Amino acid sequence: MSEPDALRHPARTRSFTRRGGRMLKQSHQDAWERYAEALVLDVPRPRGADGSTGVDPAYRIDPGQVFGRSAPLVVEIGSGSGDALVHAATRRPDWDFLALEVWRPGIGHAMAKMGGPLPNVRFLEADAALALQSLLPPGSAHEVWTFFPDPWPKQRHHKRRLVSSDFAATVAALVPSGGLWRLATDWGAYARHMRQVLDAHPAWELASTGRAPLRPVTRFERRGTEAGREIVDLAYRRA
């Protein structure tokens, strides 16, 4: 294996649209400039096309070192503009939150919502499906959250959906027995897809279909409800 190949994950179908061309609003840019040094993890990147959203697969982080303490860790996959993240981190200062997001304007927006850096939050600008294969120690997450991932509603795009058997195995390695993976979607077809994938996966068992306790009602969710879409929450327990 050549050196460049050793520093790259295998090619895959992306589960996200980068939207990297959008500029940050001034308030979000200001928040990025004030807080990114403290809150955004600086990690080594692999070479190649995914260098901006990938993490060197040889790199590991120690949550205790990152946050300076030992506390339950929530890993949020696709934190968007940070509504759930900031809400939960404010209400659970005894928990730590690591948010993986490929959309830099979303990270800037989330930091602007804080009104000041929250010591129990860190961001990683990265593709979670790749980074989480190797980034964290096994069993290090108390919970994993995936709220409103891109549903890729067209049939030809279903292969892009984040929730898959392979990714379910990746998440299963992150949580100990009894740990939870919380998901939410406003697309009925994606909810059925999630149930089909996770009900069939030996690592997971359905724990709840109630609303996640720390998930707030967001503008995005209200738009879905107003459009007539049902909000579905799922919580799966690591078997």
| Active site (catalytic) residues | 150
- From CA 230, how far away is CA 225, in angstroms rounded? 6
- State how far the Cα of 130 lies from the Cα of 153, in Å rounded to an integer: 22
Q: Phi/psi of residue 74, each to 5°?
A: -105, 130
Of residues 59, 54, 41, 60, the one with CA closest to residue 8? 54
How far apart, in whole angstroms, are the C-alpha atoms of residue 107 and residue 79?
A: 8
* C-alpha torsion 210→124→152→24, nearest 10: 110
